[in-house]
Amino acid sequence: MSTIDFSQVITAQDRTEAARVQALANLADLRWKRTLAGVTLPGGLHMPGDETTRLALSGAVSALDQGMIAAPVAWKTPAGFVELTQSQIDAAAAAVVQHVQACFAAEARVAVQIAASADPAGLDVQAAFDAACAG
């Protein structure tokens, strides 16, 4: 009689699925970091992509549109305060929202690659995500 506990055996399929789960977690982390990095606007102003900035931009757009505040709007940046016109606030909000959406779309494309991969451990998730963001 054997004393081997076969319930503890890790199969190749188990390793592949664990690698797939890890690749998807790594991908989500890459998307999150790229989302937070934000965008640099044509005038050189950098806008982070974090939820607080997105909410503040959305609120500023809405308040300007509804006449609750008037431009120019004081905005704090890492370099100090700037005054933004309504068109600059609108452009910043649009750029950040588009950036966030592009990050999620890139993550979705790479997630499909990971799901289809016979060897998710061998997939360069960083390179695939960079390519998806570029394309």
Q: Which residue has the higher pLDDT, 24 or 5?
A: 24
How many domains does the chain divide into?
1
Q: CA-CA distance, 76 to 132, in Å (whole number)?
A: 32
Q: Does residue 3 surpass a pLDDT of 80?
A: no
The answer to whether residue 10 scores a pLDDT higher than 80 is no
pLDDT of residue 57: 97
The rounded distance, in Å, linking the Cα atoms of 15 and 28 is: 20
What's the pLDDT score for residue 7?
A: 66
**Number of C-alpha atoms within 13 angstroms, CB side, residue 9?**
7
Q: Counting beta carbons within 10 angstroms of the beta carbon of residue 86, is it exposed (0 to 12), middle (13 to 18) or buried (19 or more)?
A: middle
Q: What is the pLDDT of residues 20-79, one digit of tens each?
A: 999 999 999 999 999 999 999 998 999 999 999 999 999 999 999 999 999 999 999 878
In a domain, 56, yes or no: yes
Contact 60, 71 (CB under 8 A): no
Residue 37's domain comprises: 23-134
Cα separation, 110 vs 113, in Å, equals 5
Asked if residue 6 is part of any domain, the answer here is no
Q: Where are the alpha helices (DSSP H) in the chain?
A: 12-37, 51-65, 86-116, 125-134
pTM for this entry: 0.87
Q: How confident is the model at residue 128 (pLDDT cuts 50, 70, 90)?
A: very high
68 vs 4, residue with greater confidence = 68
pLDDT of the residue at 77 = 84
